[in-house]
Each structure stands twice: as structure tokens, then as C-alpha cells.
Amino acid sequence: MMPDGSHGELRLCQRLALDDAEARALLEAMRAGSSSRSAVVLTPKAPPDYVPPFPCEDMSAVSWLPPRVFVPQAGKGISRPTAYEDYRNGLYYMLDLSSCWESAALAQVSPPARSLDLCAAPGGKSMLMAARYLPQNHTANEVNAARRGILRQNMELCGVPDVTVTGLRPDQWAASGERFDLLLVDAPCSGQSLLCKGIRNPGCLGSAMVNGNAKRQKGILLAAVQCADPGAHLLYSTCTYDPDENEKVMAYILRRVPGWEAVEVPSLASFRSRLADFAAYRLYPHHGFGAGGFCCLLRKND
């Protein structure tokens, strides 16, 4: 029997086609608000043999974990990772472990010659890309001026090389004639996973917010695909659960724009979405790796 919940909660569980146990686990996580798990990604400033100055979990069995990422141990009576001098000096960057999961698909991508993070602030996805392969010519873009300032500060503090911070709208990028062989679209979304972190997010389960974000996401992606060279990859990710902002957005792009295909990510096989007939992946909070998210890697055929 489906657990009791608000109209928005039950609507979400039904749209996700969750069985009773999965629905109960998701609702409990949303109400508890304690699913966030910190991760630290080492920056280009950190030496190759650098180890964070606090106890970290053994994550060697987690095949999808990106390189140069550590997970601090909880409940060890240590200071918060942000309290250390190394953090203030930019040797590592803090983010939720689920953000690291979303970037795991980059293991299927060769080091790009030119890359664009289209919705980059505050910089987590660019930082995870830099941990995997130092960018040769990377653009971190953010249209919001205040958030762009934070993005620029993070890129400078953490020593990401060969990066240009810009503030163009997606349609301006589409009209610019610029072409890239890797595009990151960590799209603005309803942010339903914020509830699992204990962060209030009024309206995030309502159809108005979900539909508005889905429309915006499609517009961003329709612009982004125009910036891709043949053979380019595009990694789409969100921190929300609703299929209208995830699988349905990807299905729309694959149907609307010829020449693109979804790429299988072997390390994420156990997270394969049941809501798509192409390779797309879901992380839920009850999986134990943070508040959850969605990712799908697309490739433009030569």
C-alpha cells in the first residue's frame, strides 16, 4: 500500500512508478532532510599525492566515484572540512556526493580540446571535470551576475587553468558560432532533492514549477546542441526527481534534434532509469550516496 503523504508527494511517487517500498523510502528521506553527504574534490592546486587533513571513508568499492574525490567520515569529532586552512587555500572544493555521481559519465569522454559549462555557478561540475582531466580551453558560463562573481572567485581560488568565465544566455551561445567537443548542462531545476538535505523549497513538487523548469531546460538544450562539434558529448544533469525535467526532456531532445544518441555508462548500470528506453540514470537518497540526482550523456554522431 502506498504510504500516506501530501498530494505533491504522492503525485511524484506515482510519476516515478515507484513500488511501495521505494515510495516509502523516498518520502521518509524527503521528510527527514538528512540525506546530504559531503564530498571533497581536489583542485588543480593540490599535489598529485595530496590527502585531505581529516579522516575519509574507504570508497574503493564504488566504481563510479570520480578521481581525486574523497568522502569525509562522519561523526569522528573533527572540524568541518571547510574549517581547514587547506580549504581556504583552494586545495579542495566541497559539494554533495550526488554531484560527483552526476559527473561519473565523463569517464566515457576523451579529454576535450574545448569545453563549455553552460550553467556553471558555483563551479562544481567544472571542478569535477578538472579533476578528471585538466581543461585545455574551458569556458564556465553563468548568466546571473551575482552567481557569476562567486563562480569566478571559485575558479581563481582553486587554480583551474585555461578557464574563461562568461555570462552569455544560451541563445547567444547558439548564435555565436563557437563550437565545443564537451558541453556540461547542470540545468536549473525545481530542486526537489533540496528537501532531502533539510532545505525548504516551497512549490518544488507542484506542476507549475516543474513545467516551467522543463520548458526552460528544453530551451537551454536546444541552444547547447548548436554549439557542438561532430563527435561532441553533452552531459545533462539535475538535482531533481520529476521525469518531466529529466527523462522527458532528454526524450524531447533526442526526438527533436537529429544526430544525437544517449551513451551507456557501465559504472552507472545499477542506476539505469526505468522511465526511459535510452541510457539515463537516477540516484535516489535511499541509495546512500547523497540527496540524489539525474544524469544522461549524449553524443553527437560524426
Q: How far apart are CA 216 and CA 71, in angstroms?
A: 33
Q: Is the Cβ–Cβ distance between 3 and 20 less than 8 Å?
A: yes
On whether residue 80 sits in a domain, the answer given is yes
Domains held by the chain: number: 1
Q: How far apart are CA 242 and CA 45, in angstroms?
A: 37
Please give the average per-residue pLDDT across 61-68, as a whole number. Answer: 96
On whether residue 206 sits in a domain, the answer given is yes
| pLDDT score, position 79 | 64
pLDDT confidence band for 75 (50 / 70 / 90)? low
On whether residue 224 sits in a domain, the answer given is yes
Of 100, 119, 239, 296, the active-site residue reads: 239
Burial state string for 56-89 with b = 16 or more CB within 10 A and e = fewer than 16: beebeebebbbebbbbbeeeeeeeebeebebbee
Burial state string for 7-41 with b = 16 or more CB within 10 A and e = fewer than 16: eebbbbbeebebeeeebbbbbebbeebebbbbbbb
pLDDT at 134 over 90: no
The closest of 60, 267, 123, 287 to 297, measured between CA atoms, is 267
On whether residue 228 sits in a domain, the answer given is yes
Q: Is the sign of the CA dihedral 82, 83, 84, 85 positive or negative?
A: positive
Q: How far apart are CA 119 and CA 108, in angstroms?
A: 21
Q: How far apart are CA 199 and CA 161, in angstroms?
A: 33
Q: Is the Cβ–Cβ distance between 224 and 270 less than 8 Å?
A: no
| pLDDT score, position 1 | 45
Q: Is the Cβ–Cβ distance between 183 and 235 less than 8 Å?
A: yes
The closest of 37, 35, 73 to 53, measured between CA atoms, is 73
- Each residue's pLDDT tens digit, 153-211: 999 999 999 999 999 999 999 999 999 999 999 999 999 999 999 999 999 999 999 99
- Residue 240 belongs to domain with CATH number: 3.40.50.150
On whether residue 248 sits in a domain, the answer given is yes
On whether residue 2 sits in a domain, the answer given is no
Q: Is the Cβ–Cβ distance between 211 and 143 less than 8 Å?
A: no
| pLDDT score, position 15 | 95
Q: How far apart are CA 215 and CA 211, in angstroms?
A: 6
pTM for this model (two decimals): 0.96
| pLDDT score, position 104 | 97
Q: Is the sign of the CA dihedral 70, 72, 78, 79 positive or negative?
A: positive
On whether residue 1 sits in a domain, the answer given is no
**Catalytic: 296?**
no
Phi–psi pair at 210, nearest 5 degrees:
-60, -50
Beta bridge pairs of residue 93: 41
Three-state DSSP at 87 gives: helix
- Each residue's pLDDT tens digit, 22-45: 999 999 999 999 999 999 999 999
Domain that holds residue 64: 7-300
Region of poorest pLDDT, from 80-84, 191-195, 271-275, 287-291:
80-84
Q: What is the mean pLDDT of the chain?
A: 95
On whether residue 22 sits in a domain, the answer given is yes
Number of H helices, E strands in the chain: 9, 11
Say which DSSP state 97 is in.
Answer: H
